[in-house]
A and B are shown apart, each in its own frame.
Chain A
Amino acid sequence: MEAEAAVVRRSVGRRLAGLFHGRPRLQVGALLAGPVGWLVIGYLGSLAVLLAAAFWSVDAASGELVQTFSLENFQTLLDEPVYKDIVGRTVLIAALVTVTDAILAFPIAFYMAKLASRRGKAILVVAVLLPLWSSYLVKVLSWRTMLSSGGVIDWALEPIGLSGPGYGNTAVWLVMSYLWLPYMILPIYAGLERIPNSLISASEDLGASPFTTFRRVILPLAFPAVVAGSIFTFALTLGDYITPRLVSNNQFIGNVIFNNISNNLPLASALALVPIVVMVAYLLVARKLGAFEHI
C-alpha cells in the first residue's frame, strides 16, 4: 500500500513538473497567482467596495447603509462650502510641505551623493533614517509640546521679540515638513547618485559656471527624482489626519473622513474619492514631468 501511494505521489509530482516544463508563461502565472490575487481581490477589491459606498446613503436613526444608488453625497460635497474650504486647505498644505521638503532635501541629498566621504555618507544616511525608527505619534506629540504657549519654540524666539506660531495651519505645515523630509531626501539622493561625476566635470571643462552646471545639468537629471519624492510628501500630507488633530483645530480631508466613518460611511467614502482624484491628477502631471522614466 505505502509503496503504491509513494508511486502515485511521485507520479503526480512528475506530471506537475511535466506540465510546467517548457511553459514559462504558466510558471510565471503560478508564481504570481498568489500575490497578484491578493493585490486584486484583497486590496483593489476592498478599495472598490469602499468607494462603491460613496453612491449609497445611510439611515439616520440606525446608521445602517441603504444600498441604493444615489449621487446625494457628491451633491452635499459640492453644495456645502465647508468641504471646498477643507479640500483647498488640505491641498494647499500638501503643496507647501512638498515645496518646503524639496528645498530642504536637495542640498542635503546633494552633499550626501556628491561631496561627503564614504564615512560621512554612511553617517548621513543613518541620520536621515533615524527619525523613521521612532514612532510617528511620539514625534507629533513632541511637536505639540514644543509648539505650546511658553514651549521651547516660544522660549527660543523670545530674545528676538517673536513668539512661536502656536497651533494652527502653520504648525501643521511645520510638523508635516519635518515628518516627511526623509521621504524626499532618499529619492533625491538615489537620483543624484546616478548622475556620473564625469558629466559635471565635462560641464565645468566646457566653461559653465557652477550655477549653470547646476541649472543645465544636475537639476534636469535629478528632477524626476524630486518629483518621485514629491509624490510621497504630497500623498502622505494629503492623507494624514492625526497631525492636524494634535497641532491645530483645523479640519483636513482625513479628519472629516474620520468623523463621518462611524455614522455616515457613504459620505466618508465620497470624500475619500477626493484625495484619490487629486493624486491621479498629480501622478499624470508627474508622468509628464518624467518621474517614471527610470522605473
Chain B
Amino acid sequence: MRKDSHPARTAWLVIAGLLAMMLLFAGCGSDDDDSTSGGETVEKLGKGEGKVNLISWAGYVEPEWTKPFEQKTGCKVNNKVAGTSDEMVQLMRTGEYDGVSASGNASARLFEGGDVDAVNVDLVPNYKTIFSDLKNQSYNTFDGQPYGIPHGRGANLLMWNSEEVQPAPTSWDVMLDPKKATKYKGKISAYDDPIYIADAAVYLKAHQPDLEIDNPYQLNDEQFEAAVDLLKEQRPLVGEYWSEATKQISAFANGDSTVGTTWQYQYFALQEEGKPVKASPASQGFLPSEGATGWSDTWMISSEAENPNCMYMWMDWIVSPKANAQVAEYFGEAPAQSLSCDQTAQKDFCAKYHAENPGFWKRVYYWETPLADCGDGSGDCKDYNEWVQAWTSIKG
C-alpha cells in the first residue's frame, strides 16, 4: 500500500456509498408488479417435462408411492421437506418449485401473494371422488375457483411418555395449565411456530368461555392477549420448541421431552423405535377433551411452475386411490380420496381416522391464516404479522 493513500478514508467512502445506494433503493422503489394472479390456468395437459420439484411435509413424499409415479410418468420427483408453513411460503416465493402441500395457514398467503395458480380440476380425474367436505373450503378455494387438490387431514396430537406421565392425560392442561404443567417442567415439547398460539386459543375456548373465542385463528385483542399470556406462562416450563420432526423424535427418544404436541409422523417413528410413547387413543378420537388444532392440506401449483404438466400428473397421482391410501397410512392422517378407504392395508383405517365422518372434524380446527378482517370481514382481528411478533416475544 502506498504511503499517501488513506485506507480509513476509502473505507468510509465505501460505507457512505452503500448508505446512499440503500436510501436510493428505499426511496424510489417501484410498485408496478401488482401480479396477484400469476399465469393462466392450464387448459390441456402436455407431455411430462421429466421432473417435478415439490415442497412437502415430512412423510408426504416417500419412495413407496413416488417410485411408481416416476415409472408411470417419467417425471423424476425432487422433494424438499419443510418444517413450518412459513418455510413453505418462503420456499415457494423463490419460484424454484412446481408445487407445495400447503396447509391452511400458508394457502391464503400464497394466493394473496400471487405465488400459486388456480387448478383446472378437469385435468385431475381423481378430484371427482375426493370427499366433498374437503372441496370448496375457505383455505383451498379463492374467488370461487379451486386453488389446489385436497391431500388429507388430521389433528395435531398430544403425545406423552407413558412411563413418565401418569395417569394418561385427557386434556391439554397437562401442557398448558401452569399448575399441572409444572410437574413436567423442562420436559414439555411445543411446536415452534406462531400458529402454536392457536393451540392456546383452543384451550381457552374450552376453559374460559367468557372470552367467547369462536375461531382460534381469528382473535380480537382481548382473546389474543389471553392466549399469548398463557404461552408466556408456559415458556419457562418448555424444554424444547421443535420445528424439525427429527429434532422432536430425538428429544423424546432420549428422554429430554416427555409430553408435547406432535404430528402422527413423529409418533409412529417413535413407536417403531420401541419408545414408550402414547397419544390420545382412538376411543377419544385421538383428541384431548378440548379438541385440537389440525390441518387440511392442499397440493397447490406454483404460478411460476417450470414443470406444470408433471405437477398436474403429481396432483392426480397423490389423490389416486392407492397412493392416497399409502400416504395416509404412512403419515397417519385421514385420506382425501374416498376410494382410498378400500385400498388401505388396515381394513378399518378410514373408520379409525374418521375419514368418512364430517361431524368428527368439527372439533378439529384446521390451520388457517390469521387475518386483520377476521377472514369474513366481520371485525378487528390480529393479523399474521402480529402473531409472528407475539411469538418472538413469547419465546423471549
Q: Which of B27, B31, B388 contacts A264 (CB 8 A)?
A: B388
Chain B contacts of A65 at CB under 8 A?
29
A263's contact among B24, B247, B250, B385, by CB below 8 Å, is which?
B385
What are the interface flags for A80-102 relative to B under an 8 Å C-beta threshold, 1 for contact and 0 otherwise? Answer: 11110110000000000000000
Is A69 among interface residues, defined by CB-CB distance under 8 A? yes
Residue B93 interfacial (CB < 8 Å): yes
How many residues from A make CB contacts under 8 Å with B?
A: 51
Q: Is the CB of B27 within 8 A of A69?
A: yes
Question: Cβ of B386: which chain A residues have Cβ within 8 Å of it?
Answer: 60
Q: Considering the complex, which residues of chain B in the window 47-93 have a beta carbon less than 8 Å from any beta carbon of chain A?
A: 86-87, 89-90, 93
Q: How far is the CB of A153 from chain B (nearest CB, A)?
A: 12
Task: Chain B residues near A52: list those with CB within 8 A.
Answer: 21-26, 29
On whether the beta carbons of A262 and B113 are closer than 8 Å, the reply is no
Determine whether the beta carbon of B256 is less than 8 Å from that of A61.
no
B145 at the interface (CB under 8 A from A): no
Query: Quick one: CB contact mask for B10-30 with A, threshold 8 Å, 1 for yes?
Result: 000011001001111111011
Of B30, B251, B255, B393, the most chain A CB neighbours within 10 A belong to B393
**Interface status of A116 (Cβ within 8 A of chain B):** no
**Which one, B15, B24, B109, B255, contacts A63 given CB within 8 A?**
B109
Q: Do the beta carbons of B383 and A61 come within 8 Å of each other?
A: yes
- Residue B215 lies at the interface, judged by CB distance under 8 Å to chain A: no
Question: Is the interface on chain B under 10, 10 to 19, 20 to 34, or 35 or more residues?
Answer: 35 or more
- The answer, yes or no, to whether B137 is at the interface (CB within 8 Å) is no
B21 and A45 form a contact (CB under 8 A) = yes
- The complex places the Cα of A61 from the Cα of B386 at a distance, in Å, of 11
Residues of A within 8 A of B21 (CB): 44-45, 48, 52
Smallest CB separation, B393 vs chain A (Å): 4
B389 at the interface (CB under 8 A from A): yes
Question: B239 to chain A: which residues have CB within 8 Å?
Answer: 167, 249
B129 on the interface (CB 8 Å rule)?
A: no
Q: Is A195 an interface residue (CB 8 A)?
A: no
Residues of B within 8 A of A62 (CB): 36, 109, 112-114
- Report A220-252 residues with CB < 8 Å from chain B CB: 246, 249-251
- A60 adjacent to B254 (CB under 8 Å): no
Query: When chains A and B are docked, how far (Å) is the Cα of A54 from the Cα of B25?
Result: 11
B240 within 8 A of A: yes
A44 contact from B18, B112, B371, Cβ within 8 A: B18
Which residue of the partner chain B has the closest CB to A283? B11
Q: Does A213 contact B (CB under 8 A)?
A: no
Stretch at the interface among A107-115, A201-209, A253-261: A253-261
B372 within 8 A of A: yes
- B112 near A64 with CB under 8 A, answer yes
Q: Which of A80, A280, A287 contacts B393 (CB 8 A)?
A: A80
Specify which of B22, B112, B113, B388 is in contact with A260 (CB 8 Å cutoff).
Answer: B388
Q: Which of A23-31, A141-149, A155-163 contacts B (4 or more CB under 8 A)?
A: A141-149
Q: Which residues of B contact A260 (CB under 8 A)?
A: 388, 392
Nearest B residue (CB) for A60: B383
B393 — which chain A residues lie within 8 A by C-beta? 80-82
Given A167-B240, A249-B241, A264-B388: A48 and B113 within 8 A (CB)? no
- CB-CB under 8 A from A58, the residues of chain B are 385
Instruction: Give me 19 A-to-B residue pairs in the complex whose CB atoms sit less than 8 angstroms apart, sorted by A's number.
Output: A48-B21, A52-B22, A53-B26, A56-B26, A61-B112, A61-B372, A61-B383, A63-B109, A69-B26, A80-B389, A82-B393, A85-B396, A145-B254, A148-B250, A167-B239, A249-B239, A250-B396, A259-B392, A280-B15
User: Which residues on A are within 8 Å of B, measured CB to CB?
Assistant: 44-45, 47-49, 51-56, 58, 60-69, 76, 80-83, 85-86, 144-145, 148-151, 166-167, 246, 249-251, 256, 259-264, 280, 287, 292
- Contacts A55-B26, A69-B26 known; 8 new A-B pairs at CB < 8 A: A53-B26, A55-B23, A61-B108, A61-B369, A151-B254, A249-B241, A264-B388, A287-B8
